[in-house]
Chain A
Amino acid sequence: ETGVTQSPTHLIKTRGQQVTLRCSSQSGHNTVSWYQQALGQGPQFIFQYYREEENGRGNFPPRFSGLQFPNYSSELNVNALELDDSALYLCASSSAKNIQYFGAGTRLSVL
């Protein structure tokens, strides 16, 4: 196992609601990246945080936002949920620009 933990494992929300997903990075890692994996597709980069600052963002709207805390854990927040937001959300931690190690993911279903 990678040492990257995500919570919750599963989540069901309704359209228009807001959701917060959490990630604890592997010990010694200061960088956290978030990805969205829709069913049958490869993961898509949402954003990356390095030492509490966002240092990269993919093609996702502003209603996707995040935080990184002093202990390098991270949150992904999604406002105004849409049906298409249903996906597996993956968190990965790394040391600077080295190998990204992934957690098991949070399965979000939007009804």
Chain B
Amino acid sequence: AQSVAQPEDQVNVAEGNPLTVKCTYSVSGNPYLFWYVQYPNRGLQFLLKYITGDNLVKGSYGFEAEFNKSQTSFHLKKPSALVSDSALYFCAVSQAVTGGGNKLTFGTGTQLKVEL
């Protein structure tokens, strides 16, 4: 089974500082990886995806993620954090399911808190 792990329940960073939210994956074959963000009482918003190609993926709101095959990691990064980035971040992997569809398997989430 394919899975992702988010080793940090919470990450605290000062506004203006760079941020990193960690994710490692365990998949057979080529990974299809995603980052989503969830604000309180809201659904998930897509940030970015890695399918193939460049290891540095750029996404929405200034976020980017670095795919590292040797370390099986897909860390989310942003050069300068904003207070408004405070939210719950989920890493996910897409995998095929019986019947021809595909599902997202999510990590447990990392709460990002950006402080003034």
Q: List A residues at the B interface (Cβ < 8 Å).
A: 2, 4, 6, 31, 33, 35, 41-45, 48, 50, 54-58, 90, 92, 97, 99-105, 107
Contact with A along B94-106 (1 / 0, CB 8 A): 1001111111111
B97 close to A57 (CB less than 8 A):
yes
- The answer, among A2, A45, A99, A105, for a CB contact under 8 Å with B103, is A45
B interface residue count range (under 10 / 10 to 19 / 20 to 34 / 35 or more): 20 to 34
Q: Tell me if B43 is interfacial: C-beta within 8 Å of chain A.
A: yes
Chain A: interface secondary structure? strand
Chain B: interface secondary structure? strand
Bound Cα distance A76, B23 (Å): 31
Q: Which residue of A lies closest to B91 (CB)?
A: A42
Given contacts A102-B45, A103-B43, is CB(A54)–CB(B99) below 8 Å?
yes
Q: Which residue of A lies closest to B92 (CB)?
A: A42
Bound Cα distance A37, B98 (Å): 22
Bound Cα distance A26, B100 (Å): 21
Query: Mind listing 16 A-B residue pairs with CB under 8 Å?
Result: A42-B90, A42-B106, A42-B109, A44-B106, A48-B101, A48-B102, A56-B97, A56-B99, A56-B100, A56-B101, A58-B97, A58-B103, A97-B102, A102-B46, A104-B42, A105-B42
